[in-house]
Amino acid sequence: MAWTRIRKLAGQVAPIWLAVILLYALAAMISPAMLKPEQVANILQVAAFLGVIATGQTVALLLGGIDLSVAGVVTLTNIVATSVMLGSNDRIPLAILVCLVLSLMVGIVNGVLVTVGRVAPIIATLAMNSVLFGAALIYTDGSPYGAAAPAFKALAEGRIAGVPSSAIWWLAIALALAYVLRRTTFGRWVYATGANGRAAYMMGVPVVAVTIAGYALSSTLAMVGGLLLTAYIGNPSLGIGNPYMLSSIVAVVVGGAALTGGQGSVIATIAGAIFITLLTSLTNIAQVSTGAQFVIQGVLIAASVLLYRTLEIGGQRTM
Amino acid sequence: MSERPTITPQQPARSAGPVLELRGISKRFGSFEALKAADFTCLAGEVHALMGENGAGKSTLMRIVCGLMKPSAGTISVDGREVLIDSPVTAAALGIAMVHQDTRLVPDLSVARNIWLGREPGGPFGLDLASMADDAAALIAQLGVEIDPARPVYSLSVAERQIVEIARALTIEPRVLILDEPTSALDGAEIANLFAIVDRLRQRGTAVIFISHRIPEVFSVADRMTVLKDGSIVGTVTRSEVTHDGLVSMMVGRSVEFAYPPRGKADGEVRLSVAGLSSGSALADVGFEVRAGEIVGLGGIQGNGQSDVARALFGVLPAQGRIAIDGQSYLPHNPAKAIRNGLIYIPGDRHAEGLFMGHSVRENTSLPHLPDWFGLGVISRSRENAVTADAMARFATKAESAEAPVSSLSGGNQQKVVLGRWTAADPKVFIFEDPTRGVDVGAKLEIYRQIRALADAGAAVLLVASDLMELIGLSDRILVFSRGRIVDEMRGEDGTEERIVGAATGVGEQTAGPAGTTQPQPVTKVSTGELFWSRYTGAVLLAALIVVLFGVTSYVSPFFFTPANLSNVATQVAPLALVALGQFVVMLVRGIDLSVGPVMSLVTAIVSYLAVADSGLDTTTTILVCLAVGLLVGLINAALTVWLRIPDLIATLATYSLFYGVVLIVRPAPGGLVSLSFIDTIGAQFGWVPAAAVASVLMYILAEACLIRGRIGQRLYATGSAPEAAAAIGIRPALVRSAAYVFCGLMAAAAGLVLAARIGSGDPQAGSAYTLSSITAVVIGGTSVFGGRGTAVATLLGAIAVGVMQNALNLMHVSAYWQYVWTGLLTLLAVSAYSMRLPRRAGPA
């Protein structure tokens, strides 16, 4: 029983984890320093920001949608958090509260546009991203100010047993969400809505509420990713979120989520985020330019869609 | 019987050899044999009915004849010559035309355009619209009806659409015309009209193949009948040598009683009572009761309100009336509420409405019960497993395990999963719709037994079945529907196909339907004004917006309306207009191209290397190289989306990243100095008017002309509006979509050239804003993101509106940063406003 469960689990999540292991082996061959605990911790540290944001993106893709506004949310969070905190520990709760309210609003508006307004998710969230980026520019008038408070920076800079604390935040969030999606009614509703919204509605699932909640979750996690990033960097920076629009999708897609919704897993996205981060640091070691990294990212999106489709011919995966 | 339309028996007009001869046609789908060595012959000037129950293989056989499927074995001969029919185009060339049950028309095109789609008169860029309309009207008149050829097909009734499809079939002067269950959605008068048309065609010597499983209909129209059962031909008979009963026994081939479980006593309490149920034109004052232990069948010709009753009770179709379950008043609102009240509806279309194909049997079984069992909280896996195991055991569901995805199960076992799901709780009222659709015979009996067992256990059961044998065999009581009303009621054991069909079609002449469907509809003529308005709503609204913008801005800033500034605006609009035209064409065929922004940047970078002063290439070569890059980009996008079938959004997101990476490699930071000769050529001006703006406007005029008068326009609208319909006519949607992406790549390159001339250098970020703003320009013009609807003119006005707004805000000293906000907001506003205008589907899609 236990063995079949392990085997089943292995069969379900293997491809991306296998890819992570192979890539790590390759990285270690090129640069043996990659095996040092310090370097591993570094990878986890950098992967954490992408990991949290991609966890939210997974929910949007599971619903059969997409959330391109995560980039704008991350940027705005960074700008707002630093400008509200102004480097003072007392103002941390207020900063977090403001960011939380903002991200919830963004997510709910996205969800309402997609469900009630029947706007295609790609257009709704692309437009929302533009609005958020514009808002960040207007708010700062192009020159951001403020700084993260010392106590806030500890959130991301600390280590627990050698593991960066932002990585611990990330894994805790991802595992909790994986549990919610797999083992609670709400999670099943998300999968059902994404797989076949019409059938879910006919089975009494409140699809509109589930979809809105899903987009709210996506925005909120993008906000959390933005806070961790802010804690790590300590300064405001316009456009800090921009790379995450694409990379969060790449992480989910290499994790094997079906783009049509209803198939995919947050656990696989953890591996996806590690994979992307490893690949980036590998290309850094190889001194590949930023441009080439974008090229690789683009090829990776198309290749993983095709690869997972080929794998599916052998048997449907449910996780 | 007497009031049903009949045609006087007639000898085939021309006694000739067989027009169409099929020998040993077989078709396998995996392990399922849909056709087993079927032979079939059809003569000129005869109406030949092809009969059989649902799933007997009628439609498969005819799809093979008209080139939509390839047979696994067998030969087809036309006029005694063996032929290979590999596409609908070949079939049409041989004179074979088919009118599909679910009509294959393009909703967004007019009647005349639909009729001539794929074989339009006139040149590729000069459709002869006048003769298209005249000939269409003449063809329709030949059929004894009148429909304005200018009307868009989405505004037609089902019967009118069928007429249009027949008219379209007549354009090839068919030798063989196949009608696939043409009467299923028609009322008595419409059926009579159809039969008159069939008779006229017979007299002209056309061989008409009439697919049906309605015996009375077949007797009134057909000369010969061929019966199919389980993929084999049972036999061919002429009308004079067979009786109704004889035909029935050929079709069923077994005693009717044998298959069905014995009826119950049905003497329990009333569980469901319905009174005065009405819904628009679908239902009129329907009332009935169902007792515990009773199965009540809702019968009649499909689409006469039977399914609407089910949907109204389940809360999917808005309706008024008094409903009570176990004496408790119940007001339908949505499925969730129906389920809470113990009323379950099991729709006939399992795949669309009943199952999650990729999910496991366990997940499919427990989904609707989760809130009941676990609230919103944690699911107990052991309870879930136990319930699933129990449901699978009760129905003897064959699956590898409870974790197997339902897509791996056979049709019958899938239906057992659905039944197991709902019987895991204890509902009071079950509504089944075609519970055995797509289910093999063995599983059918099992499902009948289970439905009866549910009733015996005390549930009230409503059965909506298009298969009348099933309805009669299973029901304790049958209510016959016609045009939304109950017109007859009988005990199950008294039910016969003839009585049900008779009641359903016979009353048409005596009572008027709720929506007056029997009265001859006045011919709806559409005026040129209406046509213009329906095509150019978006354009007119935008033109008004632009005028207002002009007015307000000139008032606030006198500088606005000066040649210098207008020239400036035109220079700004030109690249956006060019790229928006490409985006428009892609969105017209249901695609989207996110890569246009980076492609424009890429072109500026290339220009900044090629067209440099002194050492560079000449301007013409530079332009050609850049257009070649655009072509390549388009081909890559087409390859990913069309050939590799990656969803458009993800594919072009991948190429967005790819091309952005390439620009960063080529030109990591703004730089390079574009030669003056390049700037002078691309940035040339006629007076104060930039040549690029003039060129853009000309492109748009050309595009709009092609959309209206070109074959390519017909193909784009058809592919975007109804790809399956386009494919059935022989248009290749894959080719059209590829062409759209290639065109978009070229337009993005052209826009990049104009942009390079404006900024005078290469810049990796130059195009980044254009991905969104090109989409904005398209959608504020009213182009539907679901494809098939939109105009080039409105897109141009969209681009102009965006450009003017930008300029106006600059002049009013509003920070340039606002541009991100308002393009985003404008897009959201436009898309939601336009999508609200589209007809709503029932429930969220």
Looking at per-residue pLDDT, the higher value among B784 and B38 belongs to B38
Q: Given this model, what pLDDT does residue B348 score?
A: 85
B337/B436 same-domain check: yes
Report, as an integer, the average pLDDT of B401-406.
89
Which string of b and e fits B543-575 if b means at least 16 CB within 10 Å? bebbeebeeebbeebeebeeeebbbbbbbbbbb
Looking at per-residue pLDDT, the higher value among B731 and A83 belongs to A83
Which string of b and e fits B308-343 if b means at least 16 CB within 10 Å? bbbbbbbbbbebebebebbeeebebeebbebbebbb
Report, as an integer, the average pLDDT of B155-184.
86
B474/B594 same-domain check: no
Which residues in chain A have Cβ-Cβ distances shorter than 8 Å to B407?
Answer: 316
Which residues in chain B have Cβ-Cβ distances shorter than 8 Å to A318?
Answer: 358-360, 363, 403, 405
pLDDT > 70: what percent of chain B?
92
In a domain, B837, yes or no: no
B249/B264 same-domain check: no
Residue of A nearest to B316 (CA): A202
The CATH number covering residue B103 comes to 3.40.50.300
In a domain, B286, yes or no: yes
Q: How confident is the model at residue B176 (pLDDT cuts 50, 70, 90)?
A: very high
Please say whether the beta carbons of B428 and B400 come within 8 A. no
Tokens representing residue B149 in the block: 């050829």
- Is A25 within 8 Å of chain B by CB? no
Q: ipTM more than 0.90?
A: no
Q: Given this model, what pLDDT does residue B483 score?
A: 81
- Closest partner residue to A299 (CB to CB) among B340, B658, B820 is B658
For chain B positions 784-823, those within 8 Å of chain A (CB to CB) are 785, 815, 817-823
B642/B729 same-domain check: yes
Report, as an integer, the average pLDDT of A9-27.
78
Report, as an integer, the average pLDDT of B554-570.
89
Q: Given this model, what pLDDT does residue B775 score?
A: 93
| Minimal C-alpha gap between A65 and chain B (Å) | 11
- Residue B432 φ/ψ, nearest 5 degrees: -100, 135
Report, as an integer, the average pLDDT of B196-200.
89
Residue of A nearest to B353 (CA): A199
Q: What angle do CA B715, B717, B719 make, to 5 degrees?
A: 65
pLDDT > 90: what percent of chain A?
56
- Is A316 within 8 Å of chain B by CB? yes
- Number of A/B CB contacts below 8 angstroms equals 241
Q: Given this model, what pLDDT does residue A5 score?
A: 64
Residue contact B662–A291, C-beta within 8 A: yes
B560 alpha-carbon distance from chain centroid? 47
Contacts of B837 (CB under 8 A, 6+ apart): none
pLDDT reading at B521 higher than 60: no
Q: How confident is the model at residue B840 (pLDDT cuts 50, 70, 90)?
A: very low
Question: Between the CA of residue A192 and those of A96, A174, A264, A278, B9, what are the distances in Å?
Answer: 33, 20, 12, 33, 56
- Is A298 within 8 Å of chain B by CB? yes
- Is A101 within 8 Å of chain B by CB? no
Please say whether the beta carbons of B632 and B655 come within 8 A. no
Tokens representing residue B36 in the block: 């087993």
Residue contact A124–B831, C-beta within 8 A: yes
Q: Given this model, what pLDDT does residue B331 score?
A: 93
In a domain, B791, yes or no: yes
B690/B559 same-domain check: yes
Q: Given this model, what pLDDT does residue B810 score?
A: 85
Report, as an integer, the average pLDDT of A177-195.
95
| Minimal C-alpha gap between B651 and chain A (Å) | 6
Q: Given this model, what pLDDT does residue B787 score?
A: 84
Neighbours of A176 (CB within 10 A): 12
pLDDT > 90: what percent of chain B?
40
| Minimal C-alpha gap between A156 and chain B (Å) | 29
Q: Which of B519, B525, B509 is nearest to B146 (CA)?
A: B525
Runs of H (alpha helix) within B378-523: 381-394, 411-423, 441-456, 468-474, 497-506
Q: Examine the fold and report which residue of B509, B526, B553 is the final residue of a domain before the chain moves on.
A: B509
Total of domains in chain B: 3
- Is A259 within 8 Å of chain B by CB? yes
Q: Examine the fold and report which residue of B465, B487, B509 is the final residue of a domain before the chain moves on.
A: B509
pLDDT, tens only, B321-342: 999 999 999 999 999 999 999 9
In terms of Cβ atoms closer than 10 Å to its own Cβ (0-12, 13-18, 19+), residue A290 is middle
Q: Given this model, what pLDDT does residue A11 score?
A: 57
Contacts of B587 (CB under 8 A, 6+ apart): B775, B778, B779, B783, B785, B787, B790
Report, as an integer, the average pLDDT of B760-772.
92
Range(s) of the domain holding residue B228: 18-255
Report, as an integer, the average pLDDT of A274-287.
87
Looking at A263-267, B423-427, B519-523, B765-769, which range is the least confident one? B519-523
- Is B772 within 8 Å of chain A by CB? yes
B263/B353 same-domain check: yes
- Is B639 within 8 Å of chain A by CB? no
Looking at per-residue pLDDT, the higher value among B187 and B8 belongs to B187
Q: Given this model, what pLDDT does residue A9 score?
A: 59
In a domain, B748, yes or no: yes
Question: Between the CA of residue B507 and those of B181, B187, B254, B490, B511, what are the distances in Å?
Answer: 21, 10, 32, 16, 6
Which residues in chain A have Cβ-Cβ distances shorter than 8 Å to B827?
Answer: 123, 126-127, 130
B327/B230 same-domain check: no
Report, as an integer, the average pLDDT of B726-739.
90
In a domain, B2, yes or no: no
Residue contact A289–B664, C-beta within 8 A: yes
Residue contact B664–A8, C-beta within 8 A: no
Q: Which of B315, B320, B317 is nearest to B343 (CA)?
A: B315
Which residues in chain B have Cβ-Cβ distances shorter than 8 Å to A298?
Answer: 654-661
pLDDT, tens only, B432-487: 998 887 776 677 788 888 899 899 989 999 999 877 778 888 999 999 998 889 99
In a domain, B222, yes or no: yes
In terms of Cβ atoms closer than 10 Å to its own Cβ (0-12, 13-18, 19+), residue B265 is exposed
B205/B279 same-domain check: no
Q: What crossing angle do the helices spanning B563-588 and B691-709 adopt, rounded to 10°? A: 30
Residue contact B817–A141, C-beta within 8 A: yes
pLDDT reading at A155 higher than 90: no
Q: Given this model, what pLDDT does residue B505 score?
A: 63
Q: Given this model, what pLDDT does residue B833 score?
A: 82
Q: Which helix (DSSP H) or strand (DSSP E) does residue B208 occupy? A: strand B207-212
Q: How confident is the model at residue B783 (pLDDT cuts 50, 70, 90)?
A: confident
- Is B560 within 8 Å of chain A by CB? no
| Whole-number average pLDDT of chain B | 86
| Calpha distance B211→B208 (Å, rounded) | 10
Residue contact A301–B650, C-beta within 8 A: yes
pLDDT reading at B10 higher than 60: no
- Is A113 within 8 Å of chain B by CB? yes
B559/B599 same-domain check: yes
Q: Given this model, what pLDDT does residue B503 score?
A: 78
pLDDT, tens only, B203-262: 988 999 998 767 778 888 899 999 888 788 888 989 888 877 777 777 765 444 446 788
The CATH number covering residue B644 comes to 1.10.3470.10
CATH number for A14-314 (one of 1.10.10, 1.10.3470, 3.40.50, 3.80.10): it is 1.10.3470
| Whole-number average pLDDT of chain A | 89
Residue of B nearest to A188 (CA): B367
B317/B204 same-domain check: no
Which residues in chain B have Cβ-Cβ distances shorter than 8 Å to A260?
Answer: 647
DSSP symbol at B152? B
Report, as an integer, the average pLDDT of B96-117.
87
Top-confidence range, A311-315, B575-579, B836-840: B575-579
pLDDT, tens only, B365-389: 999 999 888 888 888 889 999 999 9
Q: Given this model, what pLDDT does residue B1 score?
A: 37
Q: Given this model, what pLDDT does residue B510 score?
A: 37
Looking at B51-65, B301-315, B763-777, which range is the least confident one? B51-65
Contacts of B8 (CB under 8 A, 6+ apart): none
Looking at A90-104, A125-139, B433-447, B559-573, which range is the least confident one? B433-447
Q: Examine the fold and report which residue of B233, B255, B277 is the final residue of a domain before the chain moves on.
A: B255
Q: Given this model, what pLDDT does residue B257 score?
A: 46
B454/B354 same-domain check: yes
pLDDT reading at B836 higher than 60: yes
Q: Given this model, what pLDDT does residue B516 score?
A: 36
Report, as an integer, the average pLDDT of B623-644.
96
B683/B804 same-domain check: yes
Tokens representing residue A295 in the block: 């090229």
Q: Given this model, what pLDDT does residue B843 score?
A: 34
Q: Which of A268, A238, A112, A123 is nearest to B583 (CA)?
A: A123
Mutate to test the interface with B, among A183, A202, A215 (most CBs of B within 10 A): A202
Residue contact B378–A289, C-beta within 8 A: no
| Minimal C-alpha gap between A277 and chain B (Å) | 16
Please say whether the beta carbons of A295 and B662 come within 8 A. yes
